[in-house]
Amino acid sequence: MIIRSSNVFLLIISLFTLTVSCHQSETQSTAEDSSHTYSPQPTTSPRTNENATSGEIYISVDESLQPVIQAETETFEALYPNATIHPLYMPGEEAIQAMLVSDSIRLAVVTRKLKRNEEQLLVQKTIPPEYAEVAREGIALLAHQENPVSNFSQEQLLQILSGEISHWDQLNSNFNQKQKKIVLVFDNAKSGIIAFLRDSILAGKTFAPELYALKRSEEVLDYVSKNPNSLGFIGVSWVSDIDNQDVKAWREKIKLVYLEKNEESVNCTDKRQYFGPFQSFLYQNCYPLTRTIYTIGRESGIGLGTGFVAYMDGPSGQRIFHKSGLAAVHTITREVKFPDKEQNSTAREEQTNTTKENDNLTDEK
């Protein structure tokens, strides 16, 4: 079942009160343990006195989505202090498996739906999965600032991933001898990014031998910033929020490589040839490495997991995705009030300026 209506959250909240408090855990999962295979914390998920806005829940999250999902969970907990969400950040494929095998995890935030055999594991437990599409994000290609290559065709990307193109001077002659070898760098061996590229781009071919799988996305950023011959692959939310000081620092050391237009997209009306993983291009599916962010729930009733999904699917949660540089799946509306005639022109000017600032998040000049 796919949840789509942004009004779901308001309907759920009306069913419950906010008077029940729950135990607050002292242990919060961080990126430091994202490289470990998940070992369930409690044997069963805490459900006592739980509803859509209060209680305690463990969720597995694809680590490539950590910046934006961290913002979503922190804001939700601030709004509903009786709710405690423990996000366990791990490689995408591990996040799915953790939700399937552990009864303590009732929600996964990942970038693909379950395969048929995976769905059967939940159906056998009489808990069919519930899906929600909450946003679109992209796989960002990172190069060192000194790298003269700025874009790839889709065919070139396929040849790089498969090793048919193995040296940078096959793409651009402005490389010295030490910089020639292309080194592919990923966030983890069990990364959802690797799975996406294998299934959607390689189409049966194997990856190039010069491939390094690290442990987390920040390590990819660090490696690319120090190695001019590297090509990194990470979730774009790690580098898309240009108001974030850490992102600004990284963007001074690395650059984004643009990709040839996704010819399969019927929504992409832009006439340019190459696209970066920017908001408007993700929304129109112009960028060929666009992914959908799915939530996969396994709650038997309306609990905290359902409430959190409804929040992300609602206006406030969608604005967080938008602010993070991703593409919200619902229209972001803005209400402007004009207090009197004298202030009308000023208000219109401020609205126009704000719109221009938001538009700047969609592309790089």
The predicted model gives 264-269 an average pLDDT of 87
- pTM, two decimals, is 0.80
Question: With 0-12 CB in 10 A as exposed, 13-18 as middle and 19+ as buried, what is 236?
Answer: buried
Tell me which of 76-90, 124-138, 152-166, 177-191 is least confident. 177-191
What are 54's two structure tokens? 């209060």
> Any idea which residue has 């190459």 for tokens?
274
Q: What is the pLDDT of residue 244?
A: 86
Q: Across all residues in the chain, what is the average pLDDT?
A: 82
| Predicted local distance difference test score (pLDDT) of residue 180 | 81
- The structure tokens 């939530």 sit at 295
pLDDT at residue 33 is higher than 50: no
pLDDT at 336: 61
pLDDT of residue 342: 52
**Who has greater pLDDT, 255 or 47?**
255
Please give the domain boundaries of the chain with CATH numbers for all domains: 2-136+291-328 (3.40.190.10), 137-290 (3.40.190.10)
Residue 136 pLDDT:
97
Banded model confidence at residue 194, pLDDT cuts 50, 70, 90: very high
Highest-confidence range of 175-184, 261-270, 337-346, by mean pLDDT? 261-270
The residues near 184 (Cβ < 8 Å, ≥ 6 apart) are: 160, 161, 207, 208, 210, 211, 212, 230, 231, 233
